[in-house]
Structure 1
Amino acid sequence: RLDLGPAYRLEDGRGIYGRGIWAPCIRYHNGMFYIFSNVNGAGLQVFRSKSIYGPWERNQLPGRHDLSVLFDDDGKVYIISSARNPYPIEELAPDLKSFVPNSRRMMDAPGMGEGHHLYKINGKYYDISAIPGATTDQMVARADSIDGPWRVERMVQGESLGVTTVAPARATPGDRGLTLHQGGMVDTPSGERWSVIMSDHGSAGRMVALVPITWDDDFPIIGLPGNLRKAPNTWIKPNTGCTQDPKPAFIHDDNFDSGKLNPHWQWNHVPDDAKWSITEKPGVLRLHSLPANDFYSARNSICQRPPGPESIMTVELDTSGMVAGDTAGLALLSSPYAWIGVVKSAESTTLQMLDNTGSGGGRRGAPAGPAKPPTISPVNPPKHLWLRVACNFDTDRAIFRWSADGKGFTSLGDPFTMTFQLATFQGVRPSLFHYHTSGRPGGYVDFDNYTVEEPRARGIEREIPLGKTITLASGADDSFLAADTQNNALVNVAADPNKPAPQKAKFRVIDLGLGRVALKAANGKVLSVADAESVVLKDLAGARCGNAESFQWVNLMRGDTMLMSLTNHRYLATTPNKTGPVTVTATGPQPARKSGEEFKWKAVE
């Protein structure tokens, strides 16, 4: 826990929304784990532990923005920070409790940005950072000495993985998407290097991607040979030297029967441990209300990060312990926020849905306006009820519902528009809460059986149609990929809505393993890349498929498919609104899906 005063506990009308832990740097050195993180207004925090599970010792240093730490092989410890060139590089004392006097030097590396990742690889120093702003391309600087000179290259450029800057339902042709940025590097025992990197995904918040690195002129560049600075949406996994059965990264459900909280829960600010319990009544989470003016100032709210692209959160409540002045329920923590819950006054008990939109906040702190009045259910709520919120992160819409029996659910209020914003600097967080406004001691509510459904746990990804005969229609203009047997080439032909796909537009999908396929035309020839980018029809005469005939099948999250050639790691693409030869020149998916490299497949045999 990071408890540095009343604001960290939501006390005295203060809070640390949008502050707290920023850009942590995690290191392991000589049997010790370290976490370095700048905390706005509180300086640089240094945590250390012999076990990743703790306990952690903490010391504090003067603040350093977006820092990275390097334990060099000569025993020195370097720290780089700042978001503007030139960048200070300083030495930390061996105990990491002070800066070495007069050790500050300036790294002159024009073109670098913020969010540093400092490494030493094969005797050379590397710093990775991202350009702030709309493009957020990532840069890498290299030097033979920590004192420079530094040479800068672009590490990844304009790579959105096809994710839109707005909800997919509102994608526009000129949308460049939300690009990968502020990533670091990891290596495997086999010597591979990969980048763990993030991008914004609307109201779901920031998502992490794992993408391969290719070395080019002693620079680590994201991407694959022939398509550098572009990340593949699908690729073979890292060679880690070990195998394990697939399992969910997080278990979201919690019935509170274990006697301890699911570690996926997060407290909104530091909790008052005397006012919550999972042992006071075994098998439930009991939240005693604490004084607050509204949900945003409510202490002891507990939340989770929801899975995308769609998730449905449901929780069971027993409100028989509530007293007048109490409000309890299920919320979406963001700015603006929204909740559905039970409100108890001296006169009545009501079920309400509150949409906080209009009260300020938003992406850049929009000015406050009239808050929406709550929607009040005409039905008096039972003391035992279920609350639910369904979040669709493709459309950034959420719908609140309730039930008296846990089976039939009724909507309450209008759909809530979710946002990613800088007030909390997070995606939305489903939250369980209980607070009171009476000024007198409050009651308690028991929460039970919190569940998270994922209707599209794999997006709307489709299985690879191995062994099937399919057609592939371009997302740009619905034209079909087709075998031009006269010219022995792959082309696209216009679709006739009144006729079925022609025979030449049918291809059999041959399984080559690792998600790679060959496409066999009706005449028995397979697609083969020739002359770097053109695609011809080739008779293998019994020979095996090589890289020229191999395509990595790439599923996108909205049901689209791309085909990456193993010759140059680029994608099959048509020319939008024009028939003719198909090439392997596309560098990756575009948010609007209208550039000719995304296809919809349909099984025809």
Structure 2
Amino acid sequence: MTRLSVLSVLVLLSLFGLNARGQQTEQWGDQGNGAYRNPVIPSDFSDLDAIRVGNDYYAISSTMQYSPGMAVLHSKDLVNWELLSHVADDLTRISPDLNWDKMNSYGKGIWAGSIRYYNNKFWVYFGTPDDGFFMSSATNPAGPWEPIHQLWKVQGWDDCCSFRDDDGQLYFVATQFGLDPKNGKKYNIHLFKMTPDGKSLIMESDTIIHQSQGSEANKLYKINGLYYHYFSEVNKEGRVMMMERSKSLHGPWEIRQLNHVNAATDKEPNQGGLMQLPNGAWWFFTHHGTGDWEGRAASLLPVTWVDGWPIMGAVGADGIGKMVWSAKKPITSKGNPLRMQTDDAFTSTRLLSQWEWNYQPRSDKWSLTDRRGFLRLHAFQPIDPQNPKKVLLRVGNTITQRSMRTKSNVATVKLDVSGMANGQHAGLTHLSTASYSALGIKQQAGKRYLVYTVNDTDSTGPAINGKTIWLQSSWGFDGINQYFYSTDGKNFTPIGTKTQLVWGSYRGDRLGIFNYNLTADTGLIDVDAFTYRYASEVSK
């Protein structure tokens, strides 16, 4: 493979529409004309890894404290994606702190991991900063996934990846970001052998294959007989993509920087997966490491091999890549493209894949079968009900999905509130640990009122006399939100002030439906329907 000429670089720059801005345009994803724009998913899909299996593409995304955990995505063309499943149904198998009665692990929980396909199974490995490494496998990525298994109980490690060599030997690579007492250094990347079942590390095989300040995002590949270790690293530019290669997993390793970054404009693409298409082309599916209110969005970068190195994005004169914001689609889609799911009429006996609870839910306090066609949420007291501060961060069984950054977004929930009890508060929220807002209904002394909330401040609105209420949130590309309500589902009245959606604890804004009672475990609401309509990829 030869270095590209300057002329070829200029052609690539023109083809990929390179610019020096982040997502300054409302356009995103599939443009319907054979091209796409980054991000391909303008929402919080952090810590991505991705693989190709046949003609299908699968990715995983970290979920922190949300349950079910570790989202699995599916695509046919690397541009249009759907939510397929989750790997971890029960977060208490990781830690009791991830349960509804603890809720003290914001910014923790399920961090980055890897997805691989070998031995006729899909294998997912991931870590948490406090509880160590876990794994699961499945013959079908849509599930069911095996109950998660703890690979190694340890603290201060992250960003792991499994790897199967040609001889069948399994390996495991991960970063020790805490101080290593043996060498007194931080951010040591370790390589281990694993047992044949992939459920244990062979500890005596431990070796360090890289060390520097801020080296994470590990992936292992074998391409054309060479081993490639992908990772990200902090340097004077910011967090950049790096690669080591060697004829042996034990080195020696050559090392090269793969891309340049400008944290203010391209938001540091880094965590991701390298894939070769059936036609031989290579692509990299990645998140942006510096998040905004929508979280760490997902983008797709073309890969050009230069002197045996996979360079991400448009190759510069120095042979190092730069971010691209538009390109020709890698695959021509057939049929209707996949889309991120949002709406739910609650007619299924299982929650649809777009939903994730804030922490492991209390199972006896929600149901899809008690009243068919509704999600029934029973109210119960939050943790420390006498504490008025940030109560929505201590409320169990808040069900959420991701907010999108598009030109227009309208989310509407239809509630039956006839089962509410005194002391109960239920409604629609935009949730972040940095700031949150809500529009809900409170019942006191047998009467119900609309209540608009910003963080710890409630503002009481009009009385609600009927049993059905529609609550709505609307926001645009700037993430400035306005709430509305309706008593007939047709005419909506604005209420409260506009608020800015925000990012907090490594998470983008979440839409949520909440329900709690400060005084007793009593009362319920029935969620009749939820709709969330976001602007199409091509901004009109």
Q: Helix, strand or coil for the counterpart of 2:193?
A: strand
Counterpart check, 1:114 vs 2:213: no
Residues 411/51 of structure 1: CA separation in 2 closer, same or farther (3 Å cut): same
What is aligned with 2:404?
307
The aligned residue for residue 272 of structure 1 is: 362
Give the counterpart letter for 2:230 in structure 1.
I
Aligned equivalent of 2:248: 145
Give the SS at the match of 1:295.
Answer: helix
Offset of residue 224 of structure 1: 4.1
TM-score under structure 1 length normalisation:
0.66
Q: Secondary structure at the match of 1:245?
A: coil
Distance (whole Å) between structure 2 residues aligned to residue 459 and residue 201 of structure 1: 23
Displacement of 1:109: 5.8
- Aligned residue in 2 for 1:237: 329
Match of 2:460 in 1: 376
Assess if the C-alpha contact under 8 Å between 1:19 and 1:40 holds in 2: yes
Gaps of 5+ in 2: 1-88, 178-185, 386-390
Alpha-carbon separation, structure 2, partners of 1:291 and 1:190: 57
- Mapped partners of 2:208, 2:503: distance in 1: 35
| Residue pair 1:327, 1:342 contacting (<8 A) in 2 also | yes
Contact residue 108 and residue 149 of structure 1 kept, 8 A: no
- Equivalent pair of 2:282/2:302 in contact (CA under 8 Å): yes
SS in 1 for 2:112: strand
Q: Residue 100 of structure 2 contacts residue 397 of structure 2 at CA under 8 Å; is this kept in 1? A: no
Q: Aligned ranges for residues 361-372 of structure 1 at < 5 Å?
A: 371=456
C-alpha displacement at 1:383, in angstroms? 2.8
Task: Indicate whether 1:37 and 2:126 are aligned.
Answer: yes
Comparing 104-113 with 33-42, greater Cα deviation is found at 104-113
Tell me the distance in 1 between the aligned counterparts of 2:497 and 2:538. Answer: 25
1:395 is matched with which residue?
478
Partner residue, 2:283? 194
Q: CA deviation at 1:102?
A: 1.9
- Say if 1:375 and 1:412, in contact at 8 Å, map to a contact too: no
| Pairwise CA distance, 1:225 | 5.2
CA distance in 2, matches of 1:282, 1:405: 22
Deviation at 1:233? 2.0
Identity, % of aligned positions: 28
Q: Deviations over 1:159-199 (max 9, x none)?
A: 67xxxxxxxxxxxxxx4442212222011122221101111
The equivalent residue for 2:169 is 76
Letter in 2 for 1:62: K
Q: How is 1:481-500 mapped onto 2 (pairs within 5 angstroms)?
A: none
Match runs of 1:294-443 below 5 Å: 294-309=391-406, 310-335=408-433, 336-346=435-445, 348-356=447-455, 371=456, 373-380=457-464, 382-392=466-476, 394-422=477-505, 425-438=506-519, 440-443=520-523
Structure 1 residue 221 corresponds to structure 2 residue 320: no
| Residue pair 1:112, 1:139 contacting (<8 A) in 2 also | no
In the alignment, which residue of structure 2 is the partner of 1:575?
A: none
Alpha-carbon distance between aligned partners in 2 of 1:444 and 1:178, rounded to the nearest angstrom: 43
Rounded Cα–Cα distance in structure 2 between residues aligned with 1:229 and 1:69: 27
Distance 1:54 1:208 in 2: 25
Q: Show CA shifts across 1:487-512 (max 9, x none).
A: xxxxxxxxxxxxxxxxxxxxxxxxxx
Normalised to the residue count of structure 2, the TM-score between the two structures is 0.74
- Whole-Å Cα distance in 1 between the matches of residues 192 and 487 of structure 2? 61
Asked if 1 retains the 8 angstrom alpha-carbon contact of 2:410 and 2:472, the reply is yes
What value does the CA root-mean-square deviation take over the aligned residues? Answer: 2.3
Q: Choose 1 or 2 for highest CA Rg.
A: 1
Structure 1 regions of 5+ residues with no counterpart?
Answer: 161-174, 357-370, 463-605
Query: SS at the partner of 1:412?
Result: strand
Query: 2-side partners of 1:348 and 1:288: how far apart?
Result: 19
SS in 1 for 2:402: coil
Match of 2:339 in 1: 249
Match of 1:89 in 2: 191
Q: Is the 8 A contact 2:313 2:324 kept in 1?
A: yes
Q: 1:14 to 1:429 in 2, by over 3 A?
A: closer
Matched, 1:98 2:200: yes
Contact 2:315/2:321, CA 8 A, preserved across alignment: no
| Rounded Cα–Cα distance in structure 2 between residues aligned with 1:443 and 1:23 | 38
Give 2:230's aligned residue: 128
